Structure 1
Amino acid sequence: MLGELLQGHYRVRAANSGERALRAASMAPRPDLILLDVMMPGMDGYEVLRRLRADAATRGIPVIFITAMDSAENEEQGLALGAVDYITKPFSPPVVLARVRTQLELKQARDRLSTQNEWLEREVERRMRENVLIQDLSVRALASLAEARDSETGNHILRTQAYVELLARHLADRDGYREALAGDRLALVVKAAPLHDIGKVGIPDAILLKPGRLTPEEFEIMKTHPQIGADAISRAMEQALAGNGLPSPEQV
């Protein structure tokens, strides 16, 4: 009777036992809604629902119980197992169609929301990968800028980064360094290593590019390039954090 009632509106797959119902539910395409009789030969509806909920492939399919039992205890048992609704026999065709339509609309809404959430998760992951790439490129570009002003640097940036990573990994499990290099901090230190000479952009060419030995006064000026670089990075961080309404590095 249910099959005849629903076939005029939906694609219907019928099964006359619990075992066949489980097989039908696992066949492609999987049903969007299951109307399940409680009293069936062999496996009853409660056990069928337990098995449906235990299988990841059928766990999300909404189930409406069809039953001649009308006690609150029986209804509570079915709802506790995960049924979304109850229809008692003898049933009214308009009521059945209305409840089926309602549950299918709810499932469609849940499916749309799930699809949107999956899309958002993928989009967030893509944006994060892009941000990491932009960060890496920015660091490389700044490091290359410093390298371009110092003809003697060569592969110094890459070598220094490799040295920093070796030292950081060696120190990561030692007292005094463990907290400073915990979590993703070690990777950040290694990533930022190429910026160690960025302050050279603030050193006059007459000193930075001098072919001969520096005088003591010139050497003192040359030694200021780490502080110049640190100040430039700190100012950039403060401006970026202030623009996003975040606390400054000192406040953190």
Structure 2
Amino acid sequence: MMPAHIHLFAMITLSTDGRTDGGVLELDADTQIRQRLIYFLRHDEKQTRKRRAMVPLCPTLAPWLDGVTGKLIRYHTPTSVKTRAAGGAEWFERPTANIANGFEGVLLAAHAARPDLGLARQVVDADGEPVWLEPRKKLGETKRRPKMVGIGTPNTLRHTIHTWHKRQGVPEAQIDAVAGYSEQGTGASYTHLRPEYLREFLTSTEAFWEAFGEFSSSHLCYGRTTKIIIMNVRRLRG
């Protein structure tokens, strides 16, 4: 099973068009989610040029956050048999400050399941030659394997949903306001409005998840593998 914290990160990013650093990774359910609104700007912060928006909580995302407390994106994994045998905790958990490595791991797992989607490529050296890794004897491997790297970053999800909204005809002002772009230009007319005025954005977000549902139901069940989301986002992008 893929890491649950990356699964949740993908759900929030695709549902809010939120930034990774200083946005989704920092969200705290106790202080930043109330009355079906997500406040990317914390109460102790001031707005900067990279504005932090107030975004409506879409129906598809809402069940994922129901009853959650504290920081949302947390690494959560079973402890070792030795730790549990000594009376230690069954789970290890910590807040996630960086999600890049875990996200790439998901890309590699998704590529292994569906190489036709092009989610990874083999690394090449300075001379352009493919890089190979030696067999892992502890795993019983006898042949070298290609060294792979994922194609994409956590921000790829944001770029994907941003493009989706544009194709759906969501007004630029709403897209700019939600994405946290400058108040200058088209975004200025929306930043003072309550999120219920972002109707087209919310409708477009739900249309995205409806289209996603043609490939998978993983967006409706917390705990499913993240690679399913990644693969089907790629299929939606064409």
TM-score for the superposition, normalised by structure 2: 0.22
Structure with greater helix percent? 1
Determine which structure has more spread, i.e. the larger CA radius of gyration. Answer: 1
| TM-score (structure 1 length as normaliser) | 0.21
